[in-house]
């Protein structure tokens, strides 16, 4: 008999994490014919259009690799601080695009006129180059995803500008999942804007730490699942979904015989025990074993049976199964082991599923 134990886990208490990142690279792309201008270690980044209509685009990279694999990113906010703008400045809108290629931050430093840049140094990103002087963008002004990820108006004064929304969240999620490489973002004027819309933002080299680029990411932790003991016939463990948000933790038995008795056992112990008349090993040995008492019944026509352990009464007495008002209690960070007993006569035990709840 082939059995399959699936887990669709969602913890009722949100395992929400909030982390802040500083940029580990930034630079400005100054529109020019030969791409020989940059400002890698300057204290300002520029984006928008100058008084003569020349474009500026800021490029930034944040290392988000510390976010655990499997985390679900729920919100992202990028904050830059405007510290320089022309007395003739006009309002505009700056858009963020996900970059498609890697780029560099060399050693160029525009000290006298940061708005005009300085001669590019080896490895600098420029208007034409990913890495000056030998590696080029496919298009002048940087290679980026055409639909922008977020936009924000600039206003007419200095101070913070924030970008957020689903586009940025999707970008960071893709970086965490590894479905897209993390080359950072490019900030540029949205559409064809009038002159004097360029803004100078504090870079990661700014002497005022609080004004440096900041990325705030919120995410939900997932859960872990692993097989510790094969029991019954050679069953398979598969993690169906892991989404710690909606308040359900559903364990699904599938592949069993239709219309047979099924119940869910749980415990924190380890060790395989053989039971008379029961096919397979009981892998919950070493501690008291509990069962879910109101969720007992026959498998459906497909041989499936399911229990939502956050909405099911437990039994055993004497604290054998942790409970609040009789309901199963899952402390965040605790590890529990589950097995289904199913079938006719003595029955059969499913494979074990061990879960750490986050």
pLDDT above 90 as % of the chain: 54
217 assigned to some structural domain:
no
pLDDT for position 332: 57
d(CA 127, CA 124): 10
- The pLDDT value recorded for residue 230 is 43
Residue 34 above 80 pLDDT? Answer: yes
| pLDDT tens, position by position, 301-340 | 988 888 877 666 655 443 345 554 555 565 556 677 788 8
Residue 316 confidence (pLDDT): 45
Both 228 and 104 in a single domain? Answer: no
One domain for residues 243 and 297: yes
pLDDT tens sequence across 84-127 = 999 999 999 999 999 999 999 999 999 999 999 999 999 999 99
Strand partners, 20: 216
Q: 249 and 176 share a domain?
A: no
Let me know whether 72 and 133 are in one domain. yes
- Note whether 116 and 192 are same-domain residues: yes
- pLDDT score for 4: 41
- Max CA separation in the chain (angstroms): 88
pLDDT, residue 248, reads: 58
How many CA atoms lie less than 13 Å away from 53 in the CB half-sphere?
Answer: 2
Q: pLDDT digit string (tens) for 150-188?
A: 999 999 999 999 999 999 999 999 999 899 999 999 999
Strand partners, 103: none
Q: Do 126 and 50 fall within a single domain? A: yes
- Top pLDDT among 82 and 257 is at 82
Look at 37-51, 156-170, 341-355 and tell me which has the smallest mean pLDDT.
341-355
Reply yes or no on whether the pLDDT at 71 is more than 60. Answer: yes
Q: Which domain holds residue 54?
A: 24-212
In a domain, 332, yes or no: yes
CB atoms within 10 A of CB 111: 10
Q: What mean pLDDT is predicted for residues 281-307?
A: 80
pLDDT tier at 231 (50, 70, 90 boundaries)? very low
Mean pLDDT for the stretch of residues 233-243: 33
pLDDT of residue 171: 97
Q: Which one of 146, 180, 212 terminates a domain?
A: 212
Provide the pLDDT for residue 275: 78
Residue 352 carries which DSSP code? P
Same domain for 53 and 170? yes
Sequence-separated (6 or more) residues with CB below 8 Å from residue 54: 30, 31, 32
Average pLDDT, whole number, for the chain? 82
Compare 92 and 230 and report the one with higher pLDDT. Answer: 92
Q: Does residue 120 sit within a domain?
A: yes
206, 82 Cβ separation under 8 angstroms: no
34 in a structural domain: yes
Mean pLDDT, residues 27-38: 97
Per-residue model confidence (pLDDT) at position 70: 73
What pLDDT score does 7 carry?
43
pLDDT score at 221 = 64
**pLDDT mean over 275-279:** 83
Same domain as 165, residue 292: no
- Residue 314: the pLDDT is 58
The answer as to whether 18 is a domain residue is: no
Are 178 and 259 in a shared domain? no
DSSP-derived 3-state class of residue 177: helix
pLDDT of amino acid 292:
78
Predicted pLDDT at 185: 98
Examine the fold and report which residue of 212, 247, 279 is the final residue of a domain before the chain moves on.
Answer: 212
| pLDDT at 15 (0 to 100) | 52
Extract the tokens encoding 56: 């500026």
Q: How many domains does the chain have?
A: 2
Note the pLDDT of residue 241.
Answer: 34
Cα of first residue to Cα of last residue in the chain, in angstroms, is 32
Give domain status of residue 133, yes or no.
Answer: yes
Residue after which a domain boundary falls, among 185, 212, 239: 212
Write the pLDDT tens digit of every residue in 261-275. Answer: 998 888 777 667 777
Establish if 155 belongs to a structural domain.
yes
Verify that 208 and 231 share a domain, yes or no: no
Tell whether 19 is covered by a domain.
no
On whether both 70 and 203 belong to a single domain, the answer is yes
Examine the domain organization and report whether 64 and 123 are in the same domain.
yes
Q: What's the pLDDT at 178? A: 93
């Amino acid at each position: 008999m082939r059995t399959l134990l699936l887990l669709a886990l969602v913890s009722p208490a949100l395992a929400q994490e909030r982390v802040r990142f500083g940029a580990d690279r930034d630079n400005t792309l100054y529109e020019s014919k030969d791409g020989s201008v940059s400002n890698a270690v300057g204290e300002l980044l520029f984006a928008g259009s100058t008084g003569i209509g020349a474009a500026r685009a800021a490029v930034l990279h944040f290392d988000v690799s510390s976010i655990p694999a499997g985390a679900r990113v729920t919100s992202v906010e990028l904050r830059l601080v405007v510290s320089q703008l022309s007395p003739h400045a006009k309002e505009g809108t700056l858009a963020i695009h996900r970059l498609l290629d890697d780029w560099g931050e060399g050693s160029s430093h525009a000290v006298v006129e940061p708005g005009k840049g300085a001669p590019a140094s080896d490895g600098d990103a420029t208007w034409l180059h990913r890495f000056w002087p030998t590696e080029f963008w496919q298009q002048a002004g940087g290679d980026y995803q055409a639909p922008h990820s977020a936009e924000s108006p600039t206003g007419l004064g200095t101070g913070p500008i924030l970008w957020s929304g689903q586009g940025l969240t999707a970008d960071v999620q893709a970086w965490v999942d590894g479905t897209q490489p993390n080359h950072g973002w490019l900030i540029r004027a949205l559409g064809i804007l009038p002159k004097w819309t360029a803004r100078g933002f504090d870079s990661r080299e700014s002497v005022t730490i609080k004004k440096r680029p900041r990325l705030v990411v919120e995410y939900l932790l997932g859960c872990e699942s692993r097989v510790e003991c094969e029991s019954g016939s050679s069953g398979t463990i598969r993690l169906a979904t892991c989404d710690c948000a909606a308040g359900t933790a559903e364990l699904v038995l599938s592949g069993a015989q239709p219309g047979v008795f099924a119940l869910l056992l749980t415990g924190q112990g380890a060790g395989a025990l053989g039971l008379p008349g029961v096919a397979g090993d009981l892998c919950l040995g070493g501690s008291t074993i509990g069962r879910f008492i109101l969720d007992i019944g026959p498998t459906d026509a497909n041989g499936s049976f399911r229990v939502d352990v956050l909405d099911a009464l437990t039994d055993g007495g004497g604290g054998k199964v942790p409970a609040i008002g009789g309901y199963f209690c899952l402390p965040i960070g605790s590890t529990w082991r589950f097995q289904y007993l199913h079938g006719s006569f003595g029955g059969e035990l499913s494979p074990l599923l061990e879960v750490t709840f986050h």
